[in-house]
Amino acid sequence: MDTADLYTDGGYIPKDAYNDQSFFNTTVLPLLGAGREGDLCEWLKKNGLIAKEQKCLNTECLASEKMQWHRARVIDKFNWVCLDCKKKLPARHASFFADFKCELGYALKVINGWCKNLPLSDVGGEGRTKVNVAKRIYTACAQVAEWQLKKIVGDFKLGGTEIVVIVDVFPEGNMSLEVPATSHNNNFSKRVLCMADTGHVPVRVWASLLEGSNKENHKIVEMVKNRVIPGSTIVTNDLLFPLLHSLPGLGDVISTEALMNLDSNNDQKSLKNLQTIWADTVEACIQLQDMSTTNAEQHLYELQWRQMFKPTAFQSIIKQIVEYTSYHNPLYAPLPSIWPSN
């Protein structure tokens, strides 16, 4: 089975068989109705989100048989029971859902909301308790996304021969030209280096916080050298152009000003294309201005994860949750960070 294949009533499906909305609506949502808790649990089992079997954890129990799956008057409607000592375990024991005090169906709805980057207010439901649970699920999804990005750090090489990589810095580059003047009173204290690989659809973005002001421009050069594949064509703002135009190994380095001068009839086509490419990234850069450095970095992880997995976001996070939950081997070396060391 492919790492992003999922199970439906018709068997396993390839990761590209459904877009996000149709997959959740056609496969998951019908399982969330009243009376279908058993079907939902079976779907969760088949996809590895909850255990398919359990052994009794009672050290004094001599039972050799596995625990039995039973209907119960509990939130999940089912649990595991040892027929010998009568010890019980929740259906969600040792799973991603173990610490969330909510229905399994509600948790899946919140995960789907996280995939779509919906505000918590849109998915939390009524009551402070559910809103707090939704917030914790969002945080857990973000942790899985960060873990996944660290695991595939090698995939963050950008560009290639004749592929355009756009390099800019928020807020002083071209990314903030269309930001409303009233936004944060233009007090953007956190600078963000952003690189967009146009060889992917949707465009794949890599972003990193910069400390301080222009004193970090030498780090920008190093980040571009480390992230961009030789032979790539660079499009960058006029401030970075002098730093990047003579970097060895790159293809052409073009300033956005020179690019816009090529537009016919002064239609600003190039500028509009850049604004479209950077739209989600600019929104994220504005949002992180009010965050701590740690939360801002986490926010950028989420941005990059969604850029990479957007076509199959729900399917992808489900499979990654399974992999993340099973990742318990302490002998594994620490995963590399996609963030440059200071």
- Say how many C-beta atoms besides its own lie within 10 A of residue 191's C-beta: 20
Single-letter amino acid code for the residue at 301: Y
Domain boundaries along the sequence of the chain: 6-151, 155-290
Distances (CA, A) of 163 to 126, 231, 241, 242, 339: 48, 8, 18, 21, 23
* Strand blocks (E) in 34-86: 68-71, 78-81
pLDDT in the model for residue 20: 46
Closest CA to 320 of 31, 13, 25, 47: 47
Q: Tell me the pairing of strands 88-90 and 78-81.
A: antiparallel
Closest CA to 152 of 325, 297, 23, 3: 3
pTM for this prediction: 0.82
The answer to whether the bond into 202 is cis (omega within 30° of 0) is: yes
Cβ pair 37, 28 in contact under 8 A: no
pLDDT in the model for residue 15: 45
Residue 212, SS3? Answer: coil
Phi, psi at 164, each rounded to 5°: -90, 130
pLDDT in the model for residue 229: 95
- Residue 289 zone, left/alpha/beta (φ > 0; ψ -120 to 50; rest): alpha
DSSP for 10-32, written as a single string: TEEE-TTSS-HHHHIIIIIGGGG
- Tokens representing 205? 């973005």
Residue 139, SS3? Answer: helix
Taking the CA atoms of 199, 23, 108 and 40 in sequence, report the sign of the dihedral they define. negative
Of 3.30.420, 3.10.590, 3.90.25, 3.40.190, which CATH number belongs to 155-290? 3.30.420
Closest CA to 141 of 327, 328, 307, 325: 325
Those residues whose C-beta lies under 8 Å from the C-beta of residue 201, and which sit 6 or more positions away, are none
- Tokens representing 239? 């401030």
pLDDT in the model for residue 340: 45
| DSSP run (H or E) holding 294 | helix 293-309
Single-letter amino acid code for the residue at 192: V
pLDDT in the model for residue 61: 93
Residue 275, SS3? Answer: helix
- Over the chain (342 residues), the average pLDDT of each successive run of 10 is 49 47 88 96 96 92 91 97 96 94 96 93 79 94 93 82 94 73 64 94 90 73 93 94 92 90 77 89 92 92 90 92 77 48 40
* Local structure of residue 209 (DSSP, 8 states): E
**Cα-Cα-Cα-Cα dihedral of 169, 257, 222, 202, to 10°?**
70
pLDDT in the model for residue 16: 47
